A and B are shown apart, each in its own frame.
Chain A
Amino acid sequence: MGMLQRILWNNRGEFLEGLLVTAEISLIAIAVAMAVGLVICLVRMYCRPLRWLALLYIEFCRSTPIYVQLMWVNYVWPELFGWPQSFFAAGWAALALQSSGYLAETFRSGIEGVARGQREAALSTGLSPFLTMRWVILPQAVLMMTPSLMNQFLVVVKSSCLVSVIAVPDLMYRALRLTSIWFEPIEILSFTAFLYVAIVFALSAAIKWYSDRLRSRYA
């Protein structure tokens, strides 16, 4: 018990700050991924001449391992685009890159999943295409894609531990640093693994509960 207290409790600040960085980078990444994914999805669906580009982007994001993307963004993008200049930005950019590909497909299947008749009925009652999108298609599409959107957030949280590799001070990074300071891997790494499992499990249970409630209420 003394050992646990010395290592874990006395370093609780480190763990907490690491958790905050993990939360921060995951939230930024999913927000950016949603925005980029939406744009890509609209290009893929409604912009014929650029369709192939959107498809290439989606396939690249989905078919490249996240770790490879992280290294690529971190080492190649600064040379290529002059951005990102910080590890933190490279971290969320890579996480967002991966997710935006998946989300573009999620958005597409959500929009395409709304029955054609709905759109035709809305247009024939005199709603403009924009109003049809806003009041008829979007509400149903959002309802349909909310569960996969939230699951993508879970994937982001799970992969976010990789940003420790490029020295973003998230939970994993701090755990590895504490391990090298104290050399007590058993306590520190097991506790960290436990934290990750508990967070991801709690999130996935919450998502399941919320999706079930959405479904039973509206569908």
Chain B
Amino acid sequence: MLGDWIQAVTGSLFWEYRRILLFGLATNFYVFLLSAVLAMAMGLLACLARLSPLRAIRWCGTFYAELFRNTPEYVLLVWVHFVPPLILTLLLRTRINFSPLFSAVVALGLAASGYFTETFRAGIQSIPRGHVEAARSTGLSGALTFRWVILPQAVRKMLPEALNQFISLFKSTTLVSLIAVPDLMYQVSMITQEQMRPMPLYSGAAIIYFVIILCLSALVRKFSEGWRAVGRA
């Protein structure tokens, strides 16, 4: 009992399996990076749709954002992993499977993109109309106004919020172990089955994630405070 605690804190069991566990943690970051890219791309698209002058397109963007913001990540993960491959199989009449990694990236990316849509939209809409009108009246085209007037200000406004979303996205990457992507939690559950000692292993995993996410959010906080202090946001 006490020995288990000592093992959890000193990580001797972790040291024994350090290779597999480090590889698992790297998988977490890998899934995180890929789904972050997907989330930003889809979020930007949906945000542009939400700002479109056409009501139908605007409506599509809103629908997209609401759909993915309101779906639990785990439900989305399972759905993406099992349903679209079957539908494609039925349609194309060839057997199609999604690899766990692919499903994980798509599901987490889509889930996060709903939140990014709102963050981007809030950032862009926070720019006073006067700036746009002033830029347009000095002869900048619509695209140039967006590139040089709206974007630099909007990015600064939405950066703190977006960084927080990245942290929640990283937290959700632990879910991918449920569809057998070999991340840290997956490796921990495999080792638990082998060693039959859940206590030091799961405590150790919790401590590792706690430390990583605490450091990340401390960095984010420091960064956004500095950002605010120089009056950019």
State the CA gap A65–B217 with chains docked (Å).
13
Task: Tell whether A87 is near chain B: CB-to-CB under 8 Å.
Answer: no
Q: Give which listed residue, B4, B75, B205, B214, contacts A193 with CB less than 8 A.
A: B75
| Contact partners of B78 in chain A: CB under 8 A | 172, 176, 189
CB neighbours (8 Å) of A75 from chain B are 192, 198-199, 202
CB-contact partner of B72 in A161, A185, A204, under 8 A: A161
Look across to chain B and name the residue whose beta carbon is closest to the beta carbon of A61: B210
What distance in Å separates the Cβ of A173 from its nearest Cβ neighbour in chain B? 11
Is B133 an interface residue, CB under 8 A from the partner?
A: no
Per-residue B-contact encoding for A68-86, CB less than 8 Å = 1, 0 else: 1101100110011000000
Residues of B within 8 A of A165 (CB): 74, 178
User: A190 contacts the other chain (Cβ, under 8 Å)?
Assistant: yes
In this complex, the interface size class of chain B, counting residues with CB under 8 Å from chain A, is 35 or more
Stretch at the interface among A36-44, A105-113, A141-149, A195-203: A195-203
Given contacts A63-B213, A63-B217, A64-B210, contact A200 B178 (CB under 8 A): no
Residues on B with C-beta less than 8 A from A189 are 78-79, 82-83
In the complex, the answer to whether B185 meets A71 with C-beta atoms within 8 Å is: yes
In the complex, chain B residues whose CB is within 8 Å of the CB of A179: 82
Residues of A participating in the B interface, judged by any CB pair closer than 8 Å? 59-60, 63-69, 71-72, 75-76, 79-80, 158-162, 164-165, 172, 176, 179, 185-186, 189-190, 192-193, 196-197, 200-201, 204
17 more A-B contacts (CB under 8 A) besides A71-B202, A79-B1, A189-B78?
A64-B206, A65-B172, A67-B177, A68-B206, A71-B205, A75-B202, A76-B198, A158-B70, A162-B74, A162-B175, A164-B74, A185-B82, A185-B86, A189-B83, A190-B83, A196-B72, A204-B70
